[in-house]
C-alpha cells in the first residue's frame, strides 16, 4: 500500500471538511449503522479540590441513543441520580425529583448522538450551544491530527470542539468561563477503545483554568443490550432502577 493510499484510508489526505456541518456529516456517515444504540458501564470518579485533595465516588450509567442518559449514584439505595432526556435534565435525591430544567448535554451530543441521529438535529443543537460551525481548522492533539470547530487557529477563548481526523471521534471541548473567558473549561475524551466497529472513550478528564478537577474512568462496559424504556422515564426513576 502506498503512502497516499495509507493517508486516504486514515482520512488524512484529500480535501477536508469545509466547515463544522460537513465534519458532523462525515462523523455521522462514517459510523452509520455501526454505532451502538445502548451502553452500560460502571464509572469511578475522582474529584480534586483546589488543595489537591482527592475524593472518590462510583456511579452506574446507562445510555439509550440518541439522547437518553441515566446515572445512578452508588450505593443504589441512596436514591440519588441524574436523568437526561428530551433536552432536559432531572436531578433525584432520596428517590424524589429535586429539580428539572432544560439542558442540552454537549458531551452526549458530541460523543454519542452525533453518530445515530439526523445530521440536521446535531447541527442545530451544537449551534444552539454557541459553537460557530463556520469556523474549522487543523491542529494536533496528543500526537494525532485533529479538526477544530468553532474558532480560528490559536484562539482558545471561543467555544470549540476537537475531532480526531483519522477516527472521526470527539476528543476535546473548550468553553470559556462566563465571568473570566481566560478561565477555560477543558474536557477531554481519552483512552478510546473499540466497541465492535465503533468506539468508546473509557476515560474523561475535566480541567478548569488548567487544573484537573474531575476524572471519570469506565469499567464493566457492555454495548447493545436491551434496556427498558422505563429506565429513562422521570416518573419511574426509582421503581425502574437497575437491579430492582
What is the per-residue pLDDT for 5? Answer: 38
* Residue at 12 is within a domain: no
Could you tell me the CATH number of the domain that includes residue 42?
2.50.20.10
* Residue at 118 is within a domain: yes
What is the per-residue pLDDT for 14? Answer: 61
What is the per-residue pLDDT for 179? Answer: 81
* Residue at 7 is within a domain: no
* Residue at 51 is within a domain: yes
* Residue at 149 is within a domain: yes
**Strands, E, within the chain: which ranges?**
38-48, 54-64, 68-73, 81-85, 88-93, 96-102, 136-141, 144-149, 160-164, 170-175, 185-195, 198-208, 211-223
* Residue at 231 is within a domain: yes
* Residue at 21 is within a domain: yes
The whole-model pTM stands at 0.92
Q: How many domains in the chain?
A: 1
**pLDDT tens-place string over residues 130-155:** 999 999 999 999 999 999 999 999 99
What is the per-residue pLDDT for 12? Answer: 53
What is the per-residue pLDDT for 13? Answer: 54
Task: Spell out, as residue ranges, where the chain has pLDDT lower than 50.
Answer: 1-11
Structural domain range at position 70: 17-236
What is the per-residue pLDDT for 242? Answer: 75
**Side-chain-side CA neighbours of residue 157 (13 Å):** 4
What is the per-residue pLDDT for 8? Answer: 40
What is the per-residue pLDDT for 33? Answer: 96
* Residue at 102 is within a domain: yes
Amino acid at each position: 500500500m502506498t503512502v497516499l493510499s495509507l493517508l486516504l484510508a486514515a482520512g488524512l489526505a484529500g480535501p477536508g471538511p469545509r466547515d463544522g456541518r460537513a465534519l458532523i456529516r462525515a462523523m455521522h456517515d462514517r459510523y452509520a449503522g455501526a454505532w451502538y444504540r445502548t451502553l452500560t458501564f460502571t464509572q469511578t470518579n475522582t474529584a480534586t479540590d483546589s488543595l489537591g485533595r482527592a475524593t472518590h465516588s462510583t456511579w452506574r450509567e446507562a445510555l439509550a441513543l440518541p439522547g437518553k442518559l441515566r446515572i445512578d449514584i452508588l450505593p443504589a439505595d441512596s436514591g440519588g441520580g441524574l436523568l437526561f432526556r428530551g433536552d432536559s435534565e432531572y436531578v433525584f435525591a432520596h428517590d424524589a425529583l429535586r429539580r428539572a430544567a432544560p439542558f442540552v448535554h454537549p458531551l452526549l451530543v458530541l460523543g454519542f448522538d452525533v453518530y445515530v441521529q439526523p445530521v440536521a438535529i446535531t447541527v442545530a443543537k451544537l449551534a444552539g450551544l454557541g459553537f460557530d460551525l463556520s469556523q474549522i481548522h487543523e491542529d494536533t492533539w496528543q500526537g494525532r491530527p485533529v479538526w477544530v470547530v468553532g474558532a480560528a487557529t490559536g484562539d482558545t477563548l471561543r467555544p470549540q470542539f476537537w475531532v480526531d481526523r483519522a477516527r472521526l471521534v470527539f476528543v476535546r471541548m473548550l468553553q470559556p468561563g462566563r465571568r473570566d473567558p481566560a478561565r477555560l473549561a477543558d474536557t477531554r475524551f481519552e483512552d478510546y477503545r473499540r466497541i465492535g466497529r465503533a468506539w468508546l472513550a473509557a476515560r474523561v478528564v475535566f480541567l478548569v483554568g488548567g487544573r484537573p478537577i474531575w476524572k471519570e474512568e469506565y469499567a464493566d462496559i457492555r454495548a447493545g443490550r436491551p434496556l427498558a424504556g422505563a429506565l429513562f422515564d422521570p416518573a419511574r426513576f426509582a421503581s425502574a432502577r437497575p437491579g430492582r
